[in-house]
């Protein structure tokens, strides 16, 4: 796509500052809204991406619908219109990097950070799904990480509403990205809220394992999604707790009805995993919890290690004097009466000897 020549009308509204990037559908520019003094990102989509004028108008209508979404984890859509025959979307400018860049720059993505990013993405999806909007193309390139580390879902203006009225029109359907799309999307069925759940789980899988659940060309990916189960993440990263893999695997099922009922349900499971992560990882390593207090969940009792009993206090001076006086009195009594006691003991011995002699003489 050649760089567009912006009309005078467009330039009265926006001052184009520089080009941010280019993709298969069009280009993204950084611009300043002149009257609002607001930095904005503008995506100009090439008209050749659509079959006819009606498809372009449908696209603009859906983008304007997405402008109603307001959530910290969603890139805000400001407006949608056409410029020089090409539709464009003006949306919030986020200073940061894409999740795809962060994954490339972080070979061993911290598990807690991966859970936090995914929970934030799911929180944004909850709001969209409540409005009946399905993103259809959740992938690392469409998740922005701002300078504070918060995740924001981008390209919501290219999403599609999940109502029966619009589902029949496939004039501008975005199939999605094969590595992250759900099996039903790969099969050609209409995407639903649970399709977004599958894609978000695929992104989490890549953060943890360094690769999506399935790899290969488009045909290979479609075949694998139809016929195979994802490889256990523990084979690719053994430190991931089994409990976390079980939660993640519950969002990667081939049948949509077997996945979590909602993005909120999946997010709550991951919040629980994040709170128990340290405990689970310690158990994986065979370590005991580092705690001086042990609790039994079954008995609901708690045992506490108490300090040893302290020694008795030393005697007071008054008590010490009383004890010495008692000992001195005891010694004085023996000094005064010891001779008498000895005489009595000797006399008793002599008397016993005399009695023994008399008894023997009588028995002869």
The pairing of strands 96-98 and 26-33 is: unpaired
Residues taking part in catalysis:
137
Q: What is the sign, positive or negative, of the torsion defined by CA atoms of 353, 354, 355, 361? A: positive
* Beta carbons within 8 Å of 345's beta carbon, 6+ residues apart: none
**For residue 24, what are its two tokens?**
């298969």
Q: Say how far apart CA 275 and CA 273 lie, in whole Å.
A: 5
Cβ-contact 204, 119 below 8 angstroms: no
Give strand pairing partners of 293.
304
And the tokens for 83?
């410029």
How many CA atoms are closer than 13 Å to the CA of 68, on its beta-carbon side?
13
* Beta bridge partner(s), residue 302: 295
Q: Are 118 and 204 in contact (CB under 8 A)?
A: yes
- Residue from 130, 171, 125, 178 nearest 151 by CA: 125
3-state percent helix, strand, coil for the chain, nearest multiple of 5 = 50, 15, 35
Asked if 46 and 5 touch (Cβ cutoff 8 Å), the reply is no
Separation CA 194–CA 256 (nearest Å): 6
Q: Within 13 Å and on the Cβ side, how many CA atoms surround 75?
A: 30
Instruction: Please give the Cα distance from 134 to 120 (Å, whole number).
Output: 16
């Amino acid at each position: 796509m050649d760089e567009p020549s912006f009309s005078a009308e467009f330039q009265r509204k926006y001052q184009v500052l520089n080009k941010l990037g280019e993709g298969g559908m069009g280009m993204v520019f950084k611009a300043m809204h002149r009257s609002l003094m607001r930095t904005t990102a503008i995506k100009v989509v090439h008209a050749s991406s659509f079959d006819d004028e009606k498809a372009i108008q449908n696209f603009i209508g859906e983008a304007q619908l997405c402008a109603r979404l307001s959530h910290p984890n969603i890139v805000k859509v400001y407006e949608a219109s056409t410029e020089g025959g090409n539709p464009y979307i003006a949306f919030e400018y986020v200073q940061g990097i894409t999740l795809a860049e962060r994954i490339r720059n972080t070979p061993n993505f911290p598990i807690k950070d991966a859970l936090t990013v995914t929970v934030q993405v799911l929180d944004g999806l909850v709001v969209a799904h409540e409005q009946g909007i399905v993103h259809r193309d959740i992938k690392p390139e469409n998740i922005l990480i701002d300078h504070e580390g918060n995740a924001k879902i981008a390209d919501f203006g290219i999403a599609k509403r999940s109502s029966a009225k619009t589902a029949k029109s496939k004039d501008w359907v975005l199939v999605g990205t094969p590595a992250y799309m759900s099996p039903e999307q790969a099969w050609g069925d209409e995407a639903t809220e649970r399709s977004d759940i599958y894609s978000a789980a695929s992104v989490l899988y890549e953060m943890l394992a360094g690769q999506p659940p399935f790899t290969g060309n488009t045909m290979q990916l479609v075949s694998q999604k139809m016929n195979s189960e994802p490889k256990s993440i523990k084979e690719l990263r053994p430190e991931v707790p089994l409990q976390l893999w079980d939660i993640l695997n519950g969002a990667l099922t081939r049948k949509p009805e077997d996945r979590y009922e909602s993005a909120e349900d999946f997010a709550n499971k991951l919040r629980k995993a994040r709170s128990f992560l340290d405990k689970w990882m310690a158990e994986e390593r065979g370590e005991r919890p580092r705690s001086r207090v042990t609790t039994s969940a079954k008995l609901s009792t708690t045992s506490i290690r108490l300090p040893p009993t302290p020694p008795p206090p030393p005697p007071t001076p008054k008590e010490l004097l009383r004890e010495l006086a008692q000992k001195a009195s005891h010694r004085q009594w023996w000094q005064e009466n010891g001779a008498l006691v000895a005489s009595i003991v000797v006399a008793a011995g002599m008397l016993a000897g005399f009695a023994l002699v008399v008894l023997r003489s009588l028995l002869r």
